[in-house]
Structure 1
């Protein structure tokens, strides 16, 4: 079964970027400890201040599904809700040209 990559983007409300960064950094650390997490990175956009991007690699669909249902993501989503300008945009990826 191939690895699964996911990119998520989210925009912080004005004045909330530091809190969004804190919550995402904590989520990344906890997610890296989850079974099947290959990598979990968090980035702040230099082109669009207040925009954050996560790039995740999971061992397989089962590991990603467990993460999406898990408490780490639920707690982070709850903590982020009031600080985001809208819902995160999730982009599961498939390789092309290989």
Structure 2
């Protein structure tokens, strides 16, 4: 069983006319996510070169924590609120170490 923390990056593009709404929705999801058991980090950024491109950087204690998060009511509600405000589907990337740390 993998006990390593799970790193996740989500990249999504907001429609310019809805950028303020997208920021508010993503802020609410982030705040609620940070309170979840197993959440070690949950940050939301906009891209400095593409202000409508949103990025989340997340760190979850384990796969079970990430799975609970993805099925949580606030994530489902946030996804529903973002429909029609985003340019396409977000890209979910689960990252695994390419090089093991030497200790």
What's the TM-score once normalised by structure 2's chain length? 0.92
Q: CA RMSD in A?
A: 0.7
Residue 68 (structure 1) aligned to one of 70, 86, 90:
70
Deviating 4+ runs (over 6 angstroms) = none
What number of residue pairs does the alignment pair up?
Answer: 98
- Tell me the distance in 2 between the aligned counterparts of 1:93 and 1:72: 23
Match of 1:97 in 2: 99
Shift of residue 15 of structure 1?
1.1
**Which structure has the larger Rg?**
2
Structure 2: segments with no counterpart, 5+ residues? none
Structure 1: segments with no counterpart, 5+ residues? none
What's the TM-score once normalised by structure 1's chain length? 0.96
